[in-house]
Structure 1
Amino acid sequence: MISRREFLISAARMGPIAGTSILLSSALPGIFTHGTAAGAVGTATEDLIRTAPKARYWISTATTNADCKSCHKADSALAKNIHAGKPPIVQCLLCAQTCIIQPGQRGKCRARMNVRGELRSLVYGRPVSMHVDPIEKKPFYHFMPGADAFSLATAGCPLKCKFCQNWEISQSRPEDFSTAFIPPADIVRSAASRSSPIIAFTYNEPTVFMEYLSDIASIAREKKLRCVLVSCGFMNPEPLAEMCRILDAIKIDLKGYSPEFYRNVCGAELQPVLNTIRQIAKSRVHLEIVNLVVPTLNDSEKMLGGLINWILGEIGPDVPVHFTRFHPDYQLLNLPATPVATLERARNLAIQRGLRYVYVGNVPDHSGNHTYCPKCGKAVIKRSAFFVTEINMQEGRCRFCGQAIAGVWS
């Protein structure tokens, strides 16, 4: 494990390509980057609990008799404790981990805690990083190209990906950071004051701050701002349905097409992520999919081919798909960066099999960063790193041949 100092030096050298600039960028006026340096003290757990609101999407062993039918739909290990007179145990139903949580304990995400029989969100109003990014950094390539996104994250994630490139945020507890309480309205006000038309929930797994996210998005909608989610997709259908009602775009990291890969490398399961992608595709929400290609772990032709075939068969040819470059990080410092040739092979395979909008990511100035018309083949959007340099579209159509290009363009 590298030290924080080594991490910061390494990430600073790699810059935004590593997906870590949120921790390193000079804060804009009014935008902060929280962190706890070695030896510093974060926010006291008692302070987090004091301001932590009651969470949503959970059940408890304190459920009344009238609710027995609903509570027994959940995990039998919880249901058998119902009315047993024991201290209230809760089961979180937000993500697909469905953690059963003893009093005073937390779920796998570290962000939700059983406080005297109530599930509380320890990260509500406690962002650990805020920054303004180009929307292309998320990456969204077919959603308001060239727009700025006011981006924020809290601590916590239900997954344990060994290759996580934001691990200092995602694998931390809320009290590892020195934070101040920031109400949802202040987030929206900050975005609007910087002329950012988009608020992005990103960097960690935003599902863990569902309540905060929901309140921010509701206010943002009133102010005519768009909201987007960058997610691992490991969530349950009911909270996802709520997100689809309040969000405008969702990017899902489909980390590999193998249950074993998800279990061994991510500490999760594949099927809930596939279910999430299907559910989003059936909604009004704009969807993009990213696959971080990790050498030796998910870069085989079988794995890539299975992922491509599933997307094509279940979602269709028009969903934008990004094959992005892995950089050695967190627990996989022993692996090399993904060869560009591997990403090109994945992109070519996807195009050959029928996907229309396929990208190479984390490789600046590669021709695979551009958007091409599926009819005439000309570049309708050109990009350099995370920035749009040329747009050849009119009202969502190719300027050269008139072909409609799938996406949200205004």
Structure 2
Amino acid sequence: MQAAVTDYPTLYWHRLDEGRVQCDLCPRECKLKEGQQGLCFVRACHDGKVVLTTYGRSSGYCIDPIEKKPLNHYLPGTPVLSFGTAGCNLSCRFCQNWDMSKSREMDTLADAASPMEIAAKASQLGCRSVAFTYNDPVIFMEYAVDTAIACHAQGIRAVAVTAGYIMPEPRVEFYRHMDAANIDLKSFSDKFYHKLTGAHLQPVLDTLVYLKEQTSVWFELTTLLIPGENDSDEELSQMTRWVVANLGPDVPMHFSAFHPDWKMLNHPPTPAATLTRAREIALSNGVHHAYTGNVHDTAGGSTFCSGCGKLLIERDWYELGEWHLTPDGDCEYCGAACPGVFEEKPGDWGAKRMPVRMDGYL
């Protein structure tokens, strides 16, 4: 196995006065002195330049169902080789992957692989795609992009699971190499973003509009609903109306259940009824495909035709059941197109989760 690369050169930064540099990758615009790390932990000032310190190193690899990303309209039923690194450029107090995204320890990065090794392993294991997930791939952009390029050479697609918090110039380069994405739209309130993530809403909305208007990336949205924070009828209505008006009715929306974690242990879990209500609000405001997540809800997890209302793809958690799409991705009953990226037949990976090492299975 090739050794991991450290201090990988980056492009999006510039020099300031007094020996400092500014990282221009995300809207945080971290200003760093020699030896300092950005808030993300993985980008740092070394030798007067901003470098990526985690290139080639991962917190682990696992084959997941693509529906776990979650992506319900992208190659349903297929396996995706998933991995992340350490750190994050948001400071979400409710982070569900805090052991990786909040890690400040390099020991978290226990597995090493080059982009070509990742692509080869994905091909060997029959994965249709590779996902950059668990923590935000924006912060390890160079590693993600190089891996996407290597995967494309093997006929494997690249998926980004991200908060979409990125500056305009690197955004173009990053998404130029992605085939699909799930974007966390954490709230429709800048107050929420500032209070609970240390970030702002508008750059995320800008990313979504960019994806819709200027790319061919297939993307879906996820909102983790936290009781008393971002689950009011008013906010959900504002959010879903904005999505329909700015992104169109065919962008799928996922409403997921919060469970107490990280620095929000005193908040109650999200009731299943809240997710159902959010889904109903989205549908009533014109969203064609809205889903519930992190709960057992076959109706809320299944895909229905926006034309005739009949069941197209049945889901029980990550297991697929009935399938009523034509080979062209149209409704078998009325012929209406179902938005997404579909193959002639669904995959049969199911709900399996399989940890992987680059030198074989765990």
State TM-score, norm by structure 1.
0.81
Please state whether the residue corresponding to 2:77 is helix, strand or coil: coil
- How many angstroms does 1:174 deviate by? 4.8
Within the candidate set 247, 252, 260, 1:320 is matched to 252
- How many angstroms does 1:173 deviate by? 2.1
- How many angstroms does 1:240 deviate by? 1.4
| 8 Å CA contact retained: 1:111, 1:174 | no
Map of 2:334 onto structure 1: 401
Compared with structure 1, are the counterparts of its residues 178 and 358 closer, same or farther at alpha carbon in structure 2 (3 Å cutoff)? Answer: closer
Stretch deviating more after TM superposition (317-326 or 301-310): 301-310
1:274 matched to 2:229? The reply is: no
Map of 1:55 onto structure 2: 10
Map of 1:6 onto structure 2: none
Whole-angstrom distance in 2 between the partners of 1:171 and 1:136: 24
Map of 2:360 onto structure 1: none
| 8 Å CA contact retained: 2:58, 2:109 | no
Higher strand share: 2
- How many angstroms does 1:255 deviate by? 0.3
Please state whether the residue corresponding to 2:206 is helix, strand or coil: helix
The 5 A counterparts of 1:124-273 are: 124-177=55-108, 179-273=110-204
Structure 2 residue ranges without an equivalent (≥5): 344-362
Quick check: which has more Rg, 1 or 2? 1
Amino acid at match of 2:9: K
1:355 matched to 2:355? The reply is: no
Within the candidate set 200, 214, 226, 1:294 is matched to 226
| 8 Å CA contact retained: 2:85, 2:109 | no
Pick 1 or 2: higher relative contact order, CA cutoff 8 A, min separation 6: 2
| 8 Å CA contact retained: 2:324, 2:331 | yes
The 5 A counterparts of 1:15-30 are: none
Post-superposition CA distance 1:342-379 (Å, at most 9, x none) = 11111111111111001111112431100000111111
| 8 Å CA contact retained: 1:235, 1:272 | yes
Superposition CA RMSD, Å: 1.5
Higher helix share: 1
| 8 Å CA contact retained: 1:244, 1:284 | no
Map of 1:90 onto structure 2: 21
Amino acid at match of 1:356: H
Map of 1:39 onto structure 2: none
| 8 Å CA contact retained: 1:292, 1:325 | yes
Post-superposition CA distance 1:31-62 (Å, at most 9, x none) = xxxxxxxxxxxxxxxx98x722112211123x
Please state whether the residue corresponding to 1:59 is helix, strand or coil: strand
| 8 Å CA contact retained: 1:149, 1:200 | yes
Please state whether the residue corresponding to 2:9 is helix, strand or coil: coil
Whole-angstrom distance in 1 between the partners of 2:160 and 2:42: 18
Whole-angstrom distance in 1 between the partners of 2:206 and 2:242: 12
Compared with structure 1, are the counterparts of its residues 392 and 358 closer, same or farther at alpha carbon in structure 2 (3 Å cutoff)? Answer: same
Whole-angstrom distance in 2 between the partners of 1:331 and 1:366: 31
Post-superposition CA distance 1:276-329 (Å, at most 9, x none) = 110011111101011110001101112111111111111111100011111111
The 5 A counterparts of 1:364-379 are: 364-379=296-311
Whole-angstrom distance in 2 between the partners of 1:276 and 1:393: 31
Structure 1 residue ranges without an equivalent (≥5): 1-29, 31-46, 62-80
The 5 A counterparts of 1:91-110 are: 91-110=22-41
Amino acid at match of 1:211: E
| 8 Å CA contact retained: 1:154, 1:174 | no
Map of 2:357 onto structure 1: none
- How many angstroms does 1:212 deviate by? 0.4
| 8 Å CA contact retained: 1:257, 1:306 | yes
Whole-angstrom distance in 1 between the partners of 2:93 and 2:43: 22
- How many angstroms does 1:243 deviate by? 2.1
- How many angstroms does 1:170 deviate by? 0.3
Post-superposition CA distance 1:164-216 (Å, at most 9, x none) = 00001001125142535421111111111100010000010111110000111
Counting matched residue pairs gives 340
Amino acid at match of 1:336: P
| 8 Å CA contact retained: 1:293, 1:324 | yes
| 8 Å CA contact retained: 1:154, 1:169 | yes
| 8 Å CA contact retained: 2:86, 2:109 | no
Whole-angstrom distance in 1 between the partners of 2:321 and 2:24: 44
Map of 2:348 onto structure 1: none
Please state whether the residue corresponding to 2:224 is helix, strand or coil: strand
